[in-house]
């Protein structure tokens, strides 16, 4: 990860401020102000009106960041401070699994296509599974509901 990406992620997650000015938000997520305003207009990003003008909440910026960068990149950028910012339930853990070869190759194929990692592809698919069974899992898995609702 390049230093600029690391700094942008750290700025978003570690900022003590509750919201970001639109120009700052655009710079942090790597889009033009015009593109950001279009995303707001389309409802992809939620902005709030304040006495200082339109702003994007820190929580919304975290949501956007998690769409832009996989959790491994975010954790790497945050380093030791990840534990103080990210709930334990969403922190990364190692998983060892035995699966049929074609499934491994399928995951690699999707990762290559999406220019990401197998971890990110698998995590995205498991997120879909979590959402589909959220009611059942909320009562069976400690911290599940808060992890699914995070950051707010």
- With a pLDDT cut of 90, the percent of the chain lying above it is 86
Terminal Cα distance for the chain, rounded: 27
The stretch 100-118 carries a mean pLDDT of 96
DSSP string, 85-133: HS-GGGS---------HHHHHHHHHHHHHTTS-HHHHHHHHHHHHHHHT
Phi-psi region of 93 (alpha: psi -120 to 50; beta: other; left: phi over 0): beta
Tell me the three-class secondary structure of 36-85, residue by residue.
HHHHHHHCCCCCEEECCEEEEEHHHHHHHHHHHCCHHHHHHHHHHHHHHH
pLDDT for 51-100, tens place per residue? 888 999 999 999 999 999 989 999 999 999 999 999 998 999 999 999 99
Name the pLDDT band for 148 (thresholds 50, 70, 90): confident
Mean pLDDT, to the nearest integer, of 105-133?
A: 94
Task: Name the more confident of 1 and 9.
Answer: 9
3-state secondary structure of 138: helix
Give the span between the Cα atoms of 82 and 103, in whole angstroms.
31
**Quick one: CA dihedral 17, 23, 29, 35, positive or negative?**
positive
Q: Where are the domains positioned within the chain?
A: 3-86, 101-149
Its pTM stands at 0.84
Q: In the chain, what's the furthest Cα-to-Cα distance?
A: 57
| Residue 151 pLDDT level (bands cut at 50, 70, 90) | confident
* Average model confidence (pLDDT) across the chain: 94
Is the pLDDT at 105 greater than 90? The verdict is yes
């Amino acid at each position: 990860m390049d230093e600029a990406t690391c700094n942008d992620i750290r700025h978003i997650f570690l900022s003590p401020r509750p919201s970001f000015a639109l120009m700052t938000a655009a710079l942090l997520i790597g889009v033009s102000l015009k593109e950001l305003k279009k995303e707001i207009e389309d409802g992809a990003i939620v902005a709030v009106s304040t006495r200082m003008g339109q702003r994007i909440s820190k929580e919304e910026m975290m949501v956007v960041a998690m769409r832009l960068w996989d959790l491994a990149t975010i954790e790497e950028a945050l380093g030791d401070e990840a534990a103080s910012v990210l709930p334990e339930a969403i922190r990364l853990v190692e998983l060892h699994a035995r699966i049929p070869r074609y499934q491994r190759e399928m995951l690699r194929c999707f990762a290559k296509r999406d220019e990401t990692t197998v971890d990110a592809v698998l995590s995205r698919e498991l997120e879909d599974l979590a959402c589909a069974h959220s009611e059942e899992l909320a009562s069976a898995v400690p911290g599940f509901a808060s992890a699914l609702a995070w950051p707010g």
